[in-house]
Structures are given as structure tokens and as C-alpha cells.
Amino acid sequence: MDKTVCPNCRSSGCCHQFYEVLGVPTNSCLLVEDRARALDFPTGDIVLAVCSECGFIFNAAWDPERTIYSDRYEETQGFSPTFNTFNRAIAEELISSYDIRGKTVLEIGCGKGEFLSLICELGDNRGIGYDPSFVPARQRAEQDVRFVREFFTEGTREVAPDLLCCKMTLEHIGQTHRFVDSVRSVANRKESVIFFQVPDVDRILKEGGFWDVYYEHCSYFSATSLGHLFARTGFAVQRIWTGYDDQYLMIVTSPAEPGDDVTLGDPDGVDAIIRLSGSFAAAAARRRTAWLGRLRSWAAAGQRTVLWGSGSKAVAFLTTLGVHDEIEHVVDINPYRVGKFLPGTGQRIVAPAFLRDYRPDNVVIMNPVYRDEIGRELARQRCEPRVYTILDLETGPA
């Protein structure tokens, strides 16, 4: 990737590096069958840079050839009732607000197809999903949905949809301007509705959230840089908002026509992101120091600690800290992940029922939005550990 040109706005000489982590796993969600392979997992570097023109943040050291997306990529959050409630609310809002009933819905990066299947079921819609990690055996029967196990690229030729959605995928795309430009060539009807969802980098920077920086995520958006991208590629932005405890940033646009008000972003928003990026490395270092000290003190006291959530946050958290022996197990409710091992640090992934016999002293929740859901599951397993979220540092137990 060219470190001097912004892949979001294509400005030159405006990108400044501010944070790096070297030797991290190149894939966080690939299923790894044994610990030796997990410990020997391929690595790459993260060198975050910010664009002073549009506020976009990207990994200047990212190499797309190092990431793998296949049926071994297990990213779904669909086993969580909390997430499913959110997912359903988004589907219902799109259907009701934009009359997506009896229409054609195209989803780019559909994963295992849960959202596409849901919005087709709720609105009696026809669906088309693109994702190389889709698993046909997990497709819901009796739906008018076609899945294509390929990447959506510049060369993709598809029917112009009534709704084009892309959830938690754009952050995996290096050349964001080129990608969204290709989306514009497919979503070319003035009635088309375009919905994208990405992580909100504003929250990550404010929290010093080093656990939310990992190799697959080569692109990081604020409301300003996301709006700038769509305006630059021929879309009229209708709405930008956050959800899921402000973790996700969402945008609804439509193809712009002559005379439409196309705004290229908020200069104040760019300045705010630049300020936050300037303080991120120090904030992340404080978080790392606090967590490493806590985990080591627990281990020295003979206490057992588990993480809850084996996805990308856990991989980034453990590899950035360099934690191995301090934590033996990571809990996950996704049965497809149970029995596998975390890339880079090799912790075994276990089901919640494992905790009945293991009896951990401490549980660290990787995503605070699941605190109540996990609390109920711990009660079902008759466990009473001290429970912390990733954000609990000075305040103690949750």
C-alpha cells in the first residue's frame, strides 16, 4: 500500500503515521485446529496513518495477500441474543423506512448469511449475497436467496438492487475509494438505497482501545471520513449515526443526481480525529501497562483467568500484550469456534459449560455490550467469578 496517498480521498502527501504494532497474526478469525499451528501463525505489521484531508485512518503496512477469507473464517456473531436483537432492529428499520418489501437486496460481505436471510424473510425480499467465507450447509432453506462464494470486485456484474448493504466489511478493504466506486457502478438506480456499517474509530481512539486494532482491519472510519468517501464517489448522504453502544457507525446513501447537495465532510471532524490519533499511542500504552500488570498479578497469586469472546478483540488484546501462560482458555458461545486455538498466542477456545469444572477466579469480557448476557450465562453455569470488562481498569470489578 502506498503510504503517501490516502486510499479514501486520494490526496497525496497528507498521511502521518501515529501508532504501530509489529508481528501480529494476519487473520484473527480463522479456525486453527492445534496449538502448535496457532503459535506459528503467519504475522504482519500494523502501522496506522491518518489523512489530514479527510480524517481517514489506515494500516500503511497492510498487505492484502496476507489475509485469507474462506469457509475457515468464522466471524459470525449470530449466536448472541444481544447481537441478534440489534441485527433484527436494523433490518426492520431499513424495511420500514425505505419500503424494502418484495424487493431485491444485495449484500456485500454477507458472512454466513444471517442478515441477508433475515431481511429477506421479514420483507419477503429476494437476496443476493457475496462472500468467500459463506458456508452452504448453513444456508436457511426455502428462501429466495442466492449466495456467491466470491469477493465483490470491480469486475462484478450484478442486477441493480433496491437495497445494497455492506455490514462490517469495508474496514477489510484497503482501497476504499476504488471499492465504493465499484459499488456505485452497480447501485446505479436513483431509487437504490445503500446501507453500510463499520466500526467507529472515534470510539476506539477515545478509549485507547488497542484491542480494536488488528491486521484484517486495514481501514478505520469516523463519521467525517465515511461521509467524505461516499460523497466523493457519487452518493448523496442521507444519514450517518452510531449504534450498538456507539461501537458501530452506519450510513444510508443513495446515488447522487445533478443538483443534489453533496457535502465532502466536516473540517472540524477531521481536526478532532487528528487530535485523537495524536494521543492514541500514549492512551493505548497506558491501557497495555494496566492490563499486563493486572493479568500478571492474578497469575502470580495463582488465580485462574479466562477471556470471554474469542474473536478479533481477544486476538489483538493477547498478542499486543504478549500474553501466553497468564491465560489458558478463552470462552465462546459459537460452537464452531469451540475446541480451536487463538492465532498467535495459542489459548484454547472453550464453551461456557467448561467453566463449571474449571472455576475461574476472573472473567474478562472482551466486549462490554455483552455484560448482561454473559452474566446470565455465568449464572446458568453456577459460576461466581469476579467479572471485568475490557474497559474496567481503575474502577475494578463490573
pTM metric for this prediction: 0.94
For residues 105 and 98, give the distance between their C-alpha atoms in angstroms, rounded to a whole number: 12
**What pLDDT band is residue 1 in, cutting at 50, 70 and 90?**
low
For residues 212 and 192, give the distance between their C-alpha atoms in angstroms, rounded to a whole number: 32
pLDDT digits over 354-378, tens only?
999 999 999 999 999 999 999 999 9
Span 42-52, average pLDDT: 97
pLDDT digits over 128-166, tens only?
999 999 998 887 766 789 999 999 988 888 889 999 999
Cβ–Cβ under 8 Å, residues 314 and 323: no
Cβ–Cβ under 8 Å, residues 38 and 341: yes
**What pLDDT band is residue 83 in, cutting at 50, 70 and 90?**
very high
Q: How many CB atoms lie within 10 A of CB 40?
A: 13
Output the nine-digit C-alpha cell for 351: 464453551
**What pLDDT band is residue 398 in, cutting at 50, 70 and 90?**
very low
Helices (H), the chain: 35-39, 81-98, 114-123, 176-186, 201-207, 223-232, 267-300, 312-321, 355-358, 371-380
Phi/psi at 372 (5° precision)? -70, -40
Span 307-328, average pLDDT: 96
Output the nine-digit C-alpha cell for 344: 498467535
For residues 396 and 398, give the distance between their C-alpha atoms in angstroms, rounded to a whole number: 7
For residues 326 and 310, give the distance between their C-alpha atoms in angstroms, rounded to a whole number: 16
Q: DSSP letter for 73, please.
A: B
Instruction: Measure CA of the first residue to CA of the last residue in the chain; give whole Å.
Output: 41
Q: Which domains does the chain carry?
A: 300-389 (3.40.50.720)
Output the nine-digit C-alpha cell for 32: 486453527
Question: Residue holding cell 495477500?
Answer: 65
**What pLDDT band is residue 265 in, cutting at 50, 70 and 90?**
low
